[in-house]
């Protein structure tokens, strides 16, 4: 196996060297060289991961494909991010293991690793184009990992994001003391475990959509977040919608799309 890998690496190095020589000698344009390099990286990804990277998703959906890293090999995660980077996409890997994070940072020194949120983010080499404002609110510090995943997702989407931590319903004055921080948000992501009451309370204080994210935080009767999920689904606050348990990425992604549309509408007006 090691011999095969060394042989493949040697062949790729020879191919890349040949492309660069032809480029320097004027026998190939920059665009042609870039296309061949991208095709080689794509074929390497297919050979090592069986992944079919959706390179058209940014055009269709506004943002590139995100790498869900859990269950993937280290090599697969690195190869998929290589493909995205080669096509000029900014990349986000979620649920990243420590081993995957080390490999991604070695391959992409400019990548940003959030160990609490278990994400690795690779952004384009330009100033971010900040679009829209989203507040991420947590009921308690135990919800922080899910919140950090949400924050990193919004930074990847180039949204202005404010993280407000530990304002759960057990101390209601804490919420009112921080309310000014999300009064003007285009959307609020509320992350809570236990009984999942916080999104309903926040929903009664804001005029924007509230994306509720139940977490698996809580004692036995919380059933791994199911109690919070059901509580949020039964919210009487009309502006609350709910995503899956511990899905900070999904809650943030929906909020980011809302913020993006709100910003665009203001610019059009």
Characterize 172-211 residue by residue with b for buried, 16 or more Cβ atoms within 10 angstroms of its Cβ, and e for exposed.
eeebeebeeebeebbbbbbbbbbbbbbbbbbbeebebbbb
The CATH number of the domain where 168 resides is what? Answer: 3.40.50.1970
pLDDT at residue 41 tops 80: no
What is the mean pLDDT of the segment spanning 5-22?
Answer: 64
Lowest mean pLDDT among 33-42, 70-79, 212-221: 33-42
Element (H, E) at 250: helix 248-268
With 0-12 / 13-18 / 19 or more C-beta atoms within 10 angstroms meaning exposed / middle / buried, residue 26 is exposed
Both 146 and 66 in one domain: the answer is: no
Residue where a domain terminates, one of 59, 90, 122: 122
Both 117 and 141 in one domain: the answer is: no
Both 170 and 228 in one domain: the answer is: yes
pLDDT of residue 1: 40
Dihedral sign, Cα of residue 233, residue 237, residue 240, residue 246: negative
CA distance 78 to 76: 5
Both 203 and 108 in one domain: the answer is: no
Contacts of 170 (CB under 8 A, 6+ apart): none
Residue 128 lies in a domain: no
pLDDT of residue 210: 97
Lowest mean pLDDT among 22-36, 129-143, 165-179, 253-267: 22-36
Contacts of 190 (CB under 8 A, 6+ apart): 137, 138, 139, 198, 199, 202, 210, 211, 212, 213
Let me know how long the chain is.
269
Residue 127 lies in a domain: no
pLDDT tens, 49-77? 566 777 777 778 778 889 999 999 999 99
Tell me the pLDDT band of 4, cut-offs 50, 70 and 90.
Answer: very low
Both 118 and 141 in one domain: the answer is: no
What is the mean pLDDT of the segment spanning 130-134?
Answer: 88
Residue where a domain terminates, one of 93, 122, 151: 122
Domains identified in the chain, total number: 2
For the full predicted model, state whether its pTM sits above 0.85: no
Both 230 and 204 in one domain: the answer is: yes
Would you give the end-to-end CA distance of the chain in angstroms? Answer: 61
pLDDT at residue 125 tops 80: no
Q: Which two tokens stand for residue 65?
A: 């494909």
What is the mean pLDDT of the segment spanning 123-146?
Answer: 87
Both 184 and 217 in one domain: the answer is: yes
pLDDT at residue 171 tops 60: yes
Residue 224 lies in a domain: yes
Tell me the pLDDT band of 31, cut-offs 50, 70 and 90.
Answer: confident
Residue where a domain terminates, one of 64, 91, 122: 122
Contacts of 238 (CB under 8 A, 6+ apart): 203
Range of the domain at 228: 133-268
């Amino acid at each position: 196996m090691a011999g095969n890998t060394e042989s493949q690496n040697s062949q790729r190095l020879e191919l890349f060297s040949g492309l660069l020589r032809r480029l320097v000698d004027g026998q190939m344009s920059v665009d042609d060289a870039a296309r061949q390099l991208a095709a080689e990286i794509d074929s390497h990804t297919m050979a090592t991961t069986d992944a079919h990277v959706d390179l058209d998703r940014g055009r269709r959906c506004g943002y590139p494909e995100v790498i869900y890293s859990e269950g993937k090999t280290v090599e697969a995660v690195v190869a998929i991010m290589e493909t995205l980077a080669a096509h000029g996409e900014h990349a986000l890997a979620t649920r990243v293991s420590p081993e995957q994070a080390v490999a991604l940072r070695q391959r992409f020194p400019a990548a940003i690793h959030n160990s609490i949120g278990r994400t690795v983010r690779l952004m384009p080499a330009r100033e971010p184009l900040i679009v829209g404002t989203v507040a991420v609110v947590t009921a308690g510090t135990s919800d922080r990992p899910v919140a950090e995943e949400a924050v990193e997702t919004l930074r990847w989407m180039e949204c202005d994001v404010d993280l407000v931590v530990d304002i759960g319903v057990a101390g209601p004055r804490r919420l009112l003391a921080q309310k000014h921080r999300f009064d003007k948000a285009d959307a609020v992501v509320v992350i809570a475990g236990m009984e999942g009451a916080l999104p309903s309370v926040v929903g009664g204080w804001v005029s924007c959509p509230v994306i509720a994210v139940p977490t698996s935080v809580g004692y036995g009767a919380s059933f791994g977040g199911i109690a919070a999920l059901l509580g949020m689904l039964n919210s009487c606050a009309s502006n609350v919608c709910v995503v899956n348990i511990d899905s900070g990425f999904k809650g943030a992604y929906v909020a980011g799309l809302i913020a993006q549309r709100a910003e665009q509408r203001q610019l059009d007006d």
